[in-house]
Structure 1
Amino acid sequence: MDCILHNGTPHCVDPCDDYTVLNDEWRSTSLSGNGVRCDRDINWQGWYRMFQGQTSARIPERCIGPNRCGTQAPLYLAEPHPTQSGVIVNRTVCNSWDGSCCKFPNHQIQVKRCSGGFYVYKLVAPSTCNLAYCSGMDCILHHGTPHCADPCDDYTVLNDEWRSTSLSGNGVRCDRDINWQGWYRMFQGQTSARIPERCIGPNRCGTQAPLYLAEPHPTQSGVIVSRTVCNSWDGNCCKFPNHQIQVKRCSGGFYVYKLVAPSTCNLAYCSGNALIKTSSHREKGGISGLGSRASVAMSLYRSPAFSDTYPPGLVTLPVDSALYVGVSVENRGPDFAVILEDCFASHSLSPQSPEKYPLIQNRCPVDPRQVEVIENGRSTRARFSALFFLPNGKHEDVYLHCNLTLCDMRKYSCFTVSLKFHFISIRICPSV
């Protein structure tokens, strides 16, 4: 038991059962920048448990470089966490600034390891600003020994060729009997890959019931999230019991996974081995209606900043990558607004093809988990992002088509874009 004054009243309880959650995203060790957060002025009371997203975290045990964790001089433990559960120990907290791993006066906090394997901390204010506690280390048992590291820097490569979504056959691989420990990064050959986010048909990926993510990957770097893994068998996209794994997006744009064994055989994790090869030149169409003719262009961008388009030619991206698409109208002033009415993918160059895979309908994303409308109807450009996929698993050319309106915001009258133009041609092929 530990007794503290809480709002002036003595409060006695086991801190492993009664703690305050500290889950500020900016405390993550993976985030850098000129943050000015300061923990000196916080009224610390009682015990705290660290989280990153839904995942338990802890204060790192290594010197963290300056200008990380949302502050200038990050706070870290200069001594290791206790390994015995139930014991409260004192630990020294240091800070990093100006080339020194303990530039400003250090201080002591209390730390307890709980029976669930997590830690709680009796935090106190540092001596000055700007100093703040870091969070984000991940710890696992590796051959019985606790091992703590950022999973973006310390992972096991999983590059089995048979895991490829492009391979079919009567495979009988099973991941149930593998002793999964720690974090894994997917590769196909030399190319970074990831677990697909769509139902993969049976008898693929070297197994009978392929495992895939039933929820999208996180889009924010540095945050660990939990995701549901499903399987495909007998016409059912989640035939056997599903399970949870942890996923983290790393600053390099790749993903790492804390994999666990499925409940039965034969089930195995799939790895997206196909690549998107997309022609990134700006495709142009025309806007018809009252007044002079305007031109419209659609471009593929490198990042969600929408500041840099891909150069002309083919660009190779992993399947399930985020496509950042911008549509702009030229030769029109700021009183006009572009509206994305409908966007869809098709295997046909013609937008009149009956086979369509809708992304945006009636100005809204069809599946908000896969498509985000970022800007629409506010200026002479519109923007959206989509996690791209192989429609029906077909390795064929794919085209994006969009139906637009151009609105004169002074008159509230709109002009419809002709549907006869295709904007982006995307060619999909397996990796080599």
Structure 2
Amino acid sequence: MIEEIKNSQQAIDMENKHGAHNYHPLPAVLAKGDGVFLWDVEGKKYYDFLSSYSAVNQGHSHPRILETLKKQAETLTLTSRAFHNNILGPFEKYITEYFGFDKVLAMNSGAEAVESALKIARKWATEKNGVAANAGKVIVAEQNFHGRTTTVISFSSDETAKKNFGPYTPGFIKIPYNDTEALDKILQGEDNIVGFLVEPIQGEAGVYRPDTDYLKKCKEICKKHNVLFIADEIQTGIARTGSLLAVCGDCTCEGHCEKQSTYVEPDILILGKALSGGFYPVSAVLANDHIMEVLTPGTHGSTFGGNPLGAAVALTALEVVKDEKLAQNARKLGQLFRDRMQKFVDKSEFVSLVRGKGLLNAIVVNDSPDSSTAWDICMALKENGLLAKPTHGNIIRFAPPLVITEEQINECCDIIEKTISEFKKK
């Protein structure tokens, strides 16, 4: 039986005593979520402006996804992949047609999907592209965030995430983000390159948007050198940036569309977070047959990957995005948010910049990354009913659920402007 939590401090003390201290949460102990709102154990109501790092794009406790979860949980939850189940096939058909790929590998966490994509890319390169066995190298961007597994931290720029976790996995080359000349130069000068792994927008690094033609040029360069273009859309995908995927550019379609002039097709696409609808961990790696067919029985697997509960939830989560036009809402309200924040930035001494796309945005606080100013502003926002979190010291990311309304986004802008205007440094 779960011990009853009577107040926030009791919950915080319990976590501190019994849990690993690998996170530094804002001191809000949440007990309920609905749509764009969260409530703490004392009953205080907040706007959620983080969306569990974009895992709840469809909003908290979405009724359609909840009903799917309950219905499937009452029937069949797990078979392992030792047997077939009646939900995995329909999910695989839906997601591959939705995103325009031949095959999907269903996994669980985002980091697990990244690891899977790296394995697939290296096996493809060795068996089909002449790369020497156990010699394949993957190019990555500086300031990347692809997870915190041992392999991923080996090419991370975040010293906190990697310090004293070595020895590190070899086989990765870092180049500056948003630098196509650096990518082309490496591919001209290095042998045994497998592919280029990149986030279309670097979320954890502070919502850095590259040049408009960056992804298109990267794909062209990769194609010229016959290496794989691998897009990590775990945070940016599934309508967050105002299109179905960030690699769709400014396309306004509601699903895969071969006529999109702005679409940059990845050779491997990695999804997670919002694929879960915020209910159950689901991630996916998508690729076409000539790449995915390198996986044969025994070469890769996961007990929970592709389980019927996760597959049912993910299918409904994608349907909700399409049916409720969440990409279109993110595009419209994201522009509204940036327009309002830009007017505020122009007259604020505390905020120097706003940037983003769709409803993945950030403001840069006019202080050192080593200062506590951004954290203190988030604490003040909490007191005023809005939850957000700093990243990289002096940057505050704003990413509400995509079901937010125009009235709500304006109310949240009011809260942010009022909080920062009244803020005083400690």
TM-score range, shorter chain: under 0.3
Q: TM-score when scaled to structure 1?
A: 0.23
Max radius of gyration: which structure? 1
Q: Which has the higher contact order (CA 8 A, sep 6+)?
A: 2
The structure that is helix-richer by fraction is 2
